[in-house]
Structure formats: structure tokens, C-alpha cells
């Protein structure tokens, strides 16, 4: 085979072969919490797929593989440096010789995980993601109700519509209710287990942030929405955690939330019934969001009402944010 008369083609071919001869590496290890969240063990056989995130074009697949018996992974990828005849890892104004590496991790029995992005990472350095901790996939551990739109809460009921409507005032659109649906379902099942409420809520927050990482361009807004969901369950989740599976309107917890002899309004008493409804029909996070918003409304309109009805609840603005995973 000759390239007589085509020296440019020969040059491009040789350059391409030389370019792909060099490679970068991606490594890390994976562990998973047990269902009680008391310990972690290495995950063998987990699927790891890594790619270069590109905001303007299709993401470039970099490497994929499975974890070893010790839970570790080590994968190589070919270089993709910018050349005058092609893009580097990123095209357009973001043209770069360094990839923006993200890895998806999936394993039966674990909640899917997406890593934090390693931006503009040098190919001559190993992209080590350290130890990634997975949480249990709990959605098959309890009975959940989903409507035709895929919500894990009562979106099709009048109570659910109220929650979704009010949440829009906090810029929590239906997009996030749908996006976080699996995380909410997992959280509901965690509340049905023997795991502590705080541990369930922290797991919930980590899982939501992982779900946010599929779109790096909107990740800041998504993280803010995730924290709003977390704040809702951290602040009001105990009403569902303590009375999970029971009608709160019919037991002593109803009195603790809205004492009947303190002159509460009709809407406040209706909320007690709403707690009972949502504890039966769906996502605790949706209900918590409703109560969080109502508490903030009352803070402005009736401080006395807050002190009466929410004396057990902490809705201060300086709520601590869990540490990033």
C-alpha cells in the first residue's frame, strides 16, 4: 500500500497513531453501606463508566470496566489532544486538551452514583476518584405509590397538587420533583426501616446531589433544590419518621404538632390531616417541603402561631448543610 501523491494523508495517519499510543489512567475504589448504614464493605463487580463531559457536543466515552474483588478499579483511556484537523476533548469555545472526567457507578442493590467532575484534568496524571461510597437501593424494600407521571408522591391528589404548586414559589419546579423521584422513593423506604432519621436524611441529600451531576450546566441550581428537599425532611421529617405507617391525626403526635385547644385556624388543622394522608400515600420529602414553606410563611405572618404549633421544630435559617460526599 502506497501513499504516493498523498503525503498529507500519510502524515495525518502517523500523527493519529502516535497520538493514541499515549494514554491516561482513571482509578478509585468503591464501598457500599449496609442497609443499617453502620458499616461499609468493598463492592465487587460494579460497573464503572467514565466519560468526558462536553457542554457543547456529545460527551466522549473514555473508559469502562468493573471493580475487582477488593472494590478497586483502574482503567486506561486514549489521548485526545487538540489538533488543527479535529477537536480536543471539548469543542467550540471550550476546546481543551484536558478532559472533564465524570464516572457513573452502578451495581445491583445500590443506588446509582455519579461522581464529582474532575475538570480539565491532565492526562499525564492518574485521575484518582478515591473511595466512592454507595448507598443501598431501598426502593424494593417497601411499598410505594407512584402516579402516571412517575412521581413517588401524591402529585395526582389534591394534597399533592398543593405541595407542587406551593413549591414553585421556592423555584422548586416539577422538573426537580421528577428528577428526584427515585431519591424520594429511596428516602421513604429508609424511613420505613430501623435506620435513624438523620442518617436517612443525610443519605437522601447525598443521593440527590448525585442525581444533579448529570447536567453540569445547571448543577448549582440543582444543588440548591437538593438542599431545599433535604431541609424539608430534616426539619419536618420527624412527623413522618415517628409515625410512619400510622395516621398522625389519630394519635398523640397530632396533639404535639397542633394542640386542639390553642385556637389554631382551619388550615392548620387541615395540615394535620395532610400529614396523615401523605404518610400513607407518598413522598415524605414532598410533604416536608410543604411544611417548610408554611413555617416560613407563618414566621412572617404570625410568630405566635409558630411558637405554638412548631415549638418542637427548628426552622432557623442557619441550618447546617451536610458535608459533601
171: three-class secondary structure by DSSP:
coil
Decide: residue 64, CB within 10 A, 0-12 exposed, 13-18 middle, 19+ buried: middle
Can you give the pTM of this predicted structure?
A: 0.69
Beta-bridged to residue 106, according to DSSP, are 47
- Asked if the model's pLDDT at residue 1 lies above 80, the reply is no
- Residue 309: the pLDDT is 41
Q: What single DSSP character describes residue 250?
A: G
- Asked if the model's pLDDT at residue 7 lies above 90, the reply is no
Give per-residue pLDDT as tens, 281-314. Answer: 456 666 666 666 666 555 444 334 433 443 333 3
Share of the chain above pLDDT 90, in %: 27
- Asked if the model's pLDDT at residue 24 lies above 60, the reply is yes
Who contacts 38 (Cβ-Cβ below 8 Å, separation ≥6)?
none
Residues 162-166, mean pLDDT to the nearest whole number: 51
Residues 113-140, mean pLDDT to the nearest whole number: 92
Provide the pairing of β-strand 127-134 with 23-33.
parallel
> Which residue has 478497586 as its cell numbers?
72
CATH of domain 20-134: 2.60.40.3330
CA 164 – CA 151 distance, rounded (Å): 11
Domain boundaries, the chain: 20-134, 158-309
Rg of the chain over Cα atoms, rounded to whole angstroms, equals: 25
Do the Cβ atoms of 275 and 248 come closer than 8 Å? yes
- Which of 12-16, 224-228, 229-233, 247-251 holds the top average pLDDT? 224-228
Amino acid at each position: 500500500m502506497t501513499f504516493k501523491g498523498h503525503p498529507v494523508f500519510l502524515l495525518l495517519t502517523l500523527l493519529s497513531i502516535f497520538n493514541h499510543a499515549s494514554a491516561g489512567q482513571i482509578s478509585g475504589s468503591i464501598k457500599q453501606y449496609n442497609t443499617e448504614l453502620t458499616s461499609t464493605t468493598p463492592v465487587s463487580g460494579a460497573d464503572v463508566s467514565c466519560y468526558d463531559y462536553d457542554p457543547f457536543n456529545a460527551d466522549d466515552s473514555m473508559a469502562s470496566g468493573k471493580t475487582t474483588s477488593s472494590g478497586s478499579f483502574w482503567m486506561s483511556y486514549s489521548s485526545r489532544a487538540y489538533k488543527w484537523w479535529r477537536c480536543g476533548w471539548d469543542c467550540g469555545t471550550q476546546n481543551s486538551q484536558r478532559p472533564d472526567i465524570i464516572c457513573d457507578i452502578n451495581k445491583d442493590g445500590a443506588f446509582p452514583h455519579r461522581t464529582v467532575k474532575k475538570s480539565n484534568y491532565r492526562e499525564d496524571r492518574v485521575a484518582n476518584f478515591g473511595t466512592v461510597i454507595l448507598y443501598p437501593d431501598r426502593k424494593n424494600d417497601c411499598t410505594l405509590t407512584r402516579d402516571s407521571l412517575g412521581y413517588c408522591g401524591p402529585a395526582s391528589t389534591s394534597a399533592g397538587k398543593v405541595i407542587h404548586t406551593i413549591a414553585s414559589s421556592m423555584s422548586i419546579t416539577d422538573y426537580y420533583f421528577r428528577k428526584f423521584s427515585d431519591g424520594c422513593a429511596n428516602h421513604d423506604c429508609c424511613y420505613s426501616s430501623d435506620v435513624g432519621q438523620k442518617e436517612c436524611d443525610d443519605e437522601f441529600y447525598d443521593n440527590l446531589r448525585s442525581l444533579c451531576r448529570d447536567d453540569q450546566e445547571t448543577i448549582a441550581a440543582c444543588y440548591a433544590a437538593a438542599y431545599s428537599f433535604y431541609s424539608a425532611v430534616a426539619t419536618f421529617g420527624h412527623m413522618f419518621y415517628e409515625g410512619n405507617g400510622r395516621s398522625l391525626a389519630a394519635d398523640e403526635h397530632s396533639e404535639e404538632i397542633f394542640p386542639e385547644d390553642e385556637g389554631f385556624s382551619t388550615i392548620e388543622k387541615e395540615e394535620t390531616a395532610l400529614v396523615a394522608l401523605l404518610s400513607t400515600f407518598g413522598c415524605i420529602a414532598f410533604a416536608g417541603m410543604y411544611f417548610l414553606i408554611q413555617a416560613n410563611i407563618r414566621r412572617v405572618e404570625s410568630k405566635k402561631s409558630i411558637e405554638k404549633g412548631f415549638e418542637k421544630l427548628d426552622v432557623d435559617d442557619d441550618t447546617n448543610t451536610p458535608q459533601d460526599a
